[in-house]
Amino acid sequence: MTGEQQIIIHVGLHKTGTTFLQERVFPALPDVRFVHPLHYAQPSDGPIERFLLELMFRNAACIDVARHRERINAWLAQLHERTVLISSEAIVGWPIENHSNLSINAEYLARVFPTAKIWLVVRRQDRWVESAYAQLLKAGFSTSIERYLNYRDGRFDRYNVGLYNGPNVDARDLNWDAFDRHYRERFGPDAVLTSPFELFTQDSAAFLRRFYAFAGIDADRSVFPDTRERVNERWSPLTAGVAKLVNKVPMPVKRAIRDRLGSEWHPSAVLARTLPASLLAGRTRALTPALGAALLELHRANNEALGRRIGLDLSAYGY
């Protein structure tokens, strides 16, 4: 690297408060250049955004890493900020593709930013699945949570590759311990901070202070926003159930309607805006208690190992 900056890469997971952090925390940090690559090109994109856009959507074998590295180093050399913070939950991989691009993303990021620090935020598997599944419905898909988890005859089966199988995951691969170990093996054992999302929801100040200490950011000059404000909040079980039915309409029809009217006129979005909160809450959850317990049992040993490595008792958060 030709610049003097420290590189911090916030890699996700999805559904762990990333939008809140990207909108309410990261842009306000002192002496930090915040880079937020989106999923589409913008005129204002710099060399890091252009590199991440290719990493997310191109065949990695066709990416000219040396060229990207040269352009990024030239850009870093003219910065005044001491820290560059890159945040994209897509770096950890696409959930609907079983996070299968996590490893190649880590490899290419390490080639460009070999001394970077990695921040991974995890979430209890059953709650993560509920939130990720609700997001699928919000995005226009229709599937059962059992099919999403490949849960058949009392056991979790492998990931089904291919669009015709619908969005799905291999529940066995929701192994945050493996994610953490992979980043430490690639970037170094002390270059990774893994934080539970549950700490953010229970004590956001403690959650952020852990990150600021890891990143070398002055906590006394940094932000501690009111986390009661919700950003990118998921639909309730009732509105999600309506979406599951409405989304059975063929995708070309749904896309045409959405392009004409806008996603805010999806029936579930209308319900979410107009019905009282008391009518939306307290409905049956998509993930049954038995299925949730089976998912947590599947990862009991993994979660214990992760807790030991990061120095937190994850069982205190229900892991």
Hey, where are the domains in the chain?
6-124+174-232+299-317, 237-280
Question: Phi and psi of 121, rounded to 5°?
Answer: -115, 125
Of 164, 199, 141, which is closest to residue 317 (Cα–Cα)? Answer: 199
pLDDT tens-digit series, residues 189-247: 999 999 999 999 999 999 999 999 999 999 999 989 887 665 555 556 656 565 555 55
6-124+174-232+299-317: CATH topology: Rossmann fold (3.40.50)
Reading the block at residue 64, the tokens are 């000219």
31: left (phi over 0), alpha (psi -120 to 50) or beta: left
Q: Is the pLDDT of residue 163 over 70?
A: no
8-state DSSP, 157? -
Average pLDDT, the chain: 88
Tell me 285's DSSP state: P
Condensed to tens digits (0 to 9), the pLDDT of residues 263-295 reads: 665 565 555 656 555 555 555 568 999 999 999
Helix, coil or strand: residue 54: helix
Ranking 76-80, 193-197, 225-229, 258-262 by mean pLDDT, the lowest is 258-262
Q: Report the Cα 119 to chain-centroid distance in Å.
A: 11
Quote the pLDDT of residue 238: 58
pLDDT digits (tens, 9 = 90+) for 5-53: 999 999 999 999 999 999 999 999 999 999 999 999 999 999 999 999 9
Instruction: Report CA-CA distances (Å) from 148 to 160, 262, 306.
Output: 10, 26, 25
> How far is CA 166 from each of CA 4, 149, 211, 265, 293, rounded to the nearest angstrom?
45, 11, 36, 24, 24
pLDDT at 105: 98
Beta strands in the chain, from DSSP E residues, in sequence order:
6-12, 32-35, 83-87, 117-122, 151-152, 155-156, 192-196
Rama region for 140: left / alpha / beta (φ>0; ψ in -120 to 50; rest): left
What 3-state DSSP class applies to 9? Answer: strand
Burial, 4: exposed, middle or buried (Cβ in 10 Å; 0-12, 13-18, 19+)? exposed
For residues 24 and 223, the answer to whether their CB atoms sit within 8 Å is yes
Percent of the chain with pLDDT over 90: 72
- The closest alpha carbon to 86, from 125, 44, 129, 33, belongs to 33
pLDDT of 165 reads 74
pLDDT higher than 50, residue 70: yes
Tell me whether strands 83-87 and 32-35 are parallel, antiparallel or unpaired: parallel
CA-to-CA separations, 222 to 5, 8, 166, 265, 298, in angstroms, rounded = 18, 16, 42, 38, 39
Asked if pLDDT for residue 175 goes beyond 50, the answer is yes
Cβ within 8 Å of residue 226, ≥6 positions away: none
What's the confidence (pLDDT) of residue 1?
42
The Cα 264–Cα 281 span in angstroms is: 20
pLDDT in tens, 300-310: 999 999 999 99
d(CA 197, CA 210): 12
Give the pLDDT score at 213. Answer: 97
